[in-house]
Amino acid sequence: MSQPVDPAPGRRQILAAFVTAVTAGIGASLAAILGAFALKPSRAAASECWVHAGTLDDLTANVPVPHVVSVPRVDGWYRERARQMVFLVWDGNQQVTALSATCSHLGCQVAWNGETKQFKCPCHGGVYDVSGRVVSGPPPRPLESVAAQVRGGNVLVKL
């Protein structure tokens, strides 16, 4: 075959510009769509929610009572429930405070000692008082407090 001939230079330029523009346009739209798709998995931000933790009837005034709370965790399309222990402390009236049972040192679960009226960690001997302040031992911070509220005899905590 002989050397192929071209259309007139002016026309050639217009056609070339058309091809480039359309190709770039389609490519850019695809890139934008797929980029958004890959970078932003979920529009709904994972958030804490109020979780049912027990009823007032289960509590004794001013004694921390351990409750295992089942916390729903939504991880994309995967739903699971984490079990988390909290101590509920009822003031005898309408007020309930909640403390996380997770030791601030290395994360063991603390236990309430009714005689000494203190929380004791079984792992490295951390001790906290009834409001979660460190009394002795390695824990660097007090027990984390958890927002709690009473609604119609039910205790809800925010986890």
Partner 1 sequence: MRRLFDWLDARVGFRGGRSVMLDEPLPPGTGWFFTLGSVLLALLAIQILTGAFLTLYYAATPDHAYDSVRFIAEQVTAGRLVRGLHHYGASFLIVVLALHLLRVVLFGSYRPPREVTWLSGIALLLLVLGFALTGYLLPWDQRAYWATVVSINIGRLAPAGGEFVASVLRGGATVGALTLTRWYALHVVFLPALLVLLVVLHLLLMRRQGISGPVRTRPGDPYPFFPRQAARDTAVILLVTVALGAFAWHGAPALEAPADPTDATYIPRPEWYFLGLFQLLKYFPARAEVFGAVTLPTIGLLLLAALPWIDRGRSRAPKDRPIVMAAIVVGALAVVSLTALGWRDRPGSGSPTAWPVRAIGGRQVVLRANCTKCHAEGDVADPLEATAITRSAEWIGGHVSDPEMIAPGLREPPTLRSDREIAAMVSYVRQLARGPYPGFPPQAEQTAGIIARYCIGCHKFDGDGGTDGPDLTHAGRKHDADWFRRWITSPKNVDPKAEMPAFGKRVAPADIDALAQYLVARR
Which residues lie closer than 8 Å to 38 by C-beta, 6 or more apart? none
If one counts every other C-beta atom within 10 angstroms of the C-beta of residue 129, the result is 14
| CB-nearer residue toward ligand FES: 92 or 107 | 107
| CB-nearer residue toward partner 1: 81 or 124 | 81
Rounded Cα gap, residues 136 and 1, in angstroms: 93
Binding string, 24-63, against partner 1, x = CB under 8 A? --x--xx--xx-xxxxxxxxx----xxxx-----------
If one counts every other C-beta atom within 10 angstroms of the C-beta of residue 146, the result is 21
> Element (H or E) spanning 16, and its range?
helix 9-39
Site for partner 1 in 74-103 (CB under 8 A): 76-79, 81
Q: Kindly indicate which of the ranges 20-28, 60-68, 82-90, 106-114 contains the residues binding ligand FES, using the contact rule CB under 6 A.
A: 106-114
What is the residue whose two structure tokens read 């994360």? 107
For residues 50 and 156, the answer to whether their CB atoms sit within 8 Å is yes
Rounded Cα gap, residues 111 and 64, in angstroms: 10
Q: Least distance in Å: CB of 133 to partner 1?
A: 29
| Contact positions vs partner 1 (CB under 8 A) | 1-2, 4-7, 12, 15-16, 18-19, 22-23, 26, 29-30, 33-34, 36-44, 49-52, 70, 72, 76-79, 81, 156
| Contact positions vs ligand FES (CB under 6 A) | 103, 105-108, 121, 123-124, 126, 137-139
